Amino acid sequence: MKLAEPLSGGCQCGAVRFSVREVGRASICFCRMCQKASGSIGGAFVAAKDFSYTRGAPAHFQSSSRARRGFCANCGTPLTFETAHGVDFSIAAFDKAGDLPPVIQLSPETRLPWTDTLTELPTRTPEEAARVAPEYAAIRSYQHPDHDTSAWPINTGPTAP
């Protein structure tokens, strides 16, 4: 699908930024390679038909005989899944990730069994949220904002212990 406006995205630190002008199918894959590559329950990707890197470029890891994965060499953010068929970008790396919902599940046989009940987990009570609010308010994020910037890095700070 050709987009009316390009979608931008990038890594957590801002060293790699991209722009996508046409997307294909969005999916979430639960295979073990996607789980390990993302350090999470799986990988959510969208096929990119027309894209460019607007700052930097990903480093790569050859994860199988048919695919390699792009990531930021500076902060480690997973960015791409690349095969002979094309490049898929990690949905969470887009500035407006909520605009790209997956339309299909891949490798459901290796989905972690507890993922079906995630929405049933409790959240913090208002009292618990109020108790941790000062700590959260004191956090200074060094993450790149969810929009393009003319300079990088825009925030630098000490490495967390």
94: tokens are 């887009």
pLDDT score at 154: 62
pLDDT at residue 67 is higher than 90? yes
CB 14 within 8 A of CB 149: yes
pLDDT at residue 158 is higher than 60? no
What DSSP letter does each residue of 19-62 carry, written as one string? Answer: EEEEEEEEEEE-SHHHHHHHTSS-EEEEEEEEEEEEE---EEEE
pLDDT grade, residue 159 (50/70/90)? Answer: low
Specify the CATH number for 2-137; select among 2.40.50.140, 1.20.1600.10, 2.170.150.70, 3.40.50.620: 2.170.150.70
pLDDT score at 151: 79
DSSP element (H, E) containing 79: strand 78-83
What three-state secondary structure class fits 64? coil
Q: DSSP secondary-structure letter at 92?
A: G
pLDDT at residue 80 is higher than 90? yes
pLDDT tens figures, 6-59 = 999 999 999 999 999 999 999 999 999 999 999 999 999 999 999 999 999 999
